[in-house]
Amino acid sequence: MKIALLGAGKTGSKVTKIHDDVVIFNTTNPPKLEELQKCDVVVSFLPGEAFLDHLDLLIESKLPVATGSTGFDWPEDIDQRLKENQLSWIRAHNFSLGMNVVREMIKQMSTLAKLFDDGSFSIHDIHHVHKKDSPSGTALSWKQWLNEEVNITAKREGDVVGYHHLEFDSADEKITLVHEAKDRSIFARGAVWAAKILTEDDSLEKGLLDFNEVVKTKINL
């Protein structure tokens, strides 16, 4: 499997440590159609706006894409365009494989709202100072998975890879759930896992797919 890597920064560069057949495209080697088509799959860790700039080219390449690019709004017709071109793309706010187990834990925590009249939920995320979106896409996903009223706060400091904290607080009990990314390699591993699914699983649906849903299906969560 030859990976076309877009965005070889702090996270993207980890892909080259995990997988040995990677072609890096950047400002000195910008992606071109002929060169992309020599690869089997695209992995992107570009900033959101830069990823959007390459959107039409990526569709034209007819390659599957695993993207962890965040901080932008997808075009409303992207799913339709991918299906028309018989393409499967996987997107993720967070490529951590462990986050998929956390998702099920969060769904269980949501039941606390039915047990307590005086309880409240809060989510806090901490990331490095260069992260542009605040709160993080993962924090927003946690809110969606919880499906309850929740207060979200965010902090940007130092070189924190990623920290997310969900708390339920009542008069008599406090319950917390924490996920901490210790190294950026967890996101690279998840992206390479997604790339393998894209290239090996012929039964994968076409269109824009959610990473968490793909993992959930594969491990029967």
Q: Write the CATH number for 136.
A: 3.30.360.10
pTM as predicted: 0.82
| Statement to judge: residues 78 and 147 lie in one domain | no
Does pLDDT of 219 surpass 90? Answer: no
| Statement to judge: residues 122 and 192 lie in one domain | no
Q: How large is the average pLDDT for residues 153-175?
A: 96
Task: Report the number of distinct structural domains present in the chain.
Answer: 2
Q: Phi first, then psi: give them for residue 66, nearest 5 degrees.
A: -115, 115
| Statement to judge: residues 191 and 146 lie in one domain | no
| Statement to judge: residues 152 and 54 lie in one domain | no
Please answer whether residues 182 and 146 qualify as being in contact, where contact means their C-beta atoms are separated by less than 8 angstroms.
no
Please answer whether residues 89 and 199 qualify as being in contact, where contact means their C-beta atoms are separated by less than 8 angstroms.
no
Nearest to 89 by CA among 100, 101, 75: 75
| Statement to judge: residues 7 and 84 lie in one domain | yes
Catalytic residue among 10, 131, 206, 216: 131
CA 68 to chain centre: 5
Domain that holds residue 166: 99-181
Does pLDDT of 193 surpass 80? Answer: yes
Q: Which of the 8 DSSP states describes residue 74?
A: P
Does pLDDT of 18 surpass 70? Answer: yes
pLDDT at 94: 86
Q: Is 179 a catalytic residue?
A: no
pLDDT at 51: 95
Please answer whether residues 43 and 21 qualify as being in contact, where contact means their C-beta atoms are separated by less than 8 angstroms.
no
Residues 6 or more apart in contact with residue 184 via CB below 8 angstroms: 10, 11, 14, 161
| Statement to judge: residues 87 and 41 lie in one domain | yes
Q: Which of the 8 DSSP states describes residue 142?
A: H
Mean model confidence pLDDT for the chain = 95
CA 123 to chain centre: 18
pLDDT at 19: 96
Please answer whether residues 209 and 88 qualify as being in contact, where contact means their C-beta atoms are separated by less than 8 angstroms.
yes
| Statement to judge: residues 189 and 90 lie in one domain | yes
Return the sign of the alpha-carbon dihedral for residues 3, 5, 11, 17: positive
- Please give the residue that has the higher pLDDT: either 10 or 1: 1
Does pLDDT of 102 surpass 90? Answer: yes
Does pLDDT of 70 surpass 90? Answer: no
Q: How confident is the model at residue 179 (pLDDT cuts 50, 70, 90)?
A: very high
Nearest to 141 by CA among 169, 103, 177: 103
| Statement to judge: residues 129 and 105 lie in one domain | yes
Residues 6 or more apart in contact with residue 115 via CB below 8 angstroms: none
pLDDT at 221: 60
Helix 211-219 / helix 99-109 crossing angle, nearest 10 deg: 90
Q: How large is the average pLDDT for residues 81-90?
A: 98
Q: What percent of the chain has pLDDT over 90?
A: 87
Q: What percent of the chain has pLDDT over 70?
A: 100
Catalytic residue among 14, 54, 93, 127: 127
| Statement to judge: residues 11 and 90 lie in one domain | yes
| Statement to judge: residues 71 and 32 lie in one domain | yes
pLDDT at 218: 87
Q: How large is the average pLDDT for residues 63-69?
A: 96
Residue type, 187: F
| Statement to judge: residues 153 and 103 lie in one domain | yes
Q: Is 62 a catalytic residue?
A: no
Q: How large is the average pLDDT for residues 124-130?
A: 95
Distance CA 108, CA 31 (A): 44
| Statement to judge: residues 89 and 196 lie in one domain | yes
Angle at 149 between CA 74 and CA 110, to 5 degrees: 95
Does pLDDT of 132 surpass 90? Answer: no
Does pLDDT of 125 surpass 70? Answer: yes
Q: How large is the average pLDDT for residues 23-38?
A: 95
Residue type, 173: E
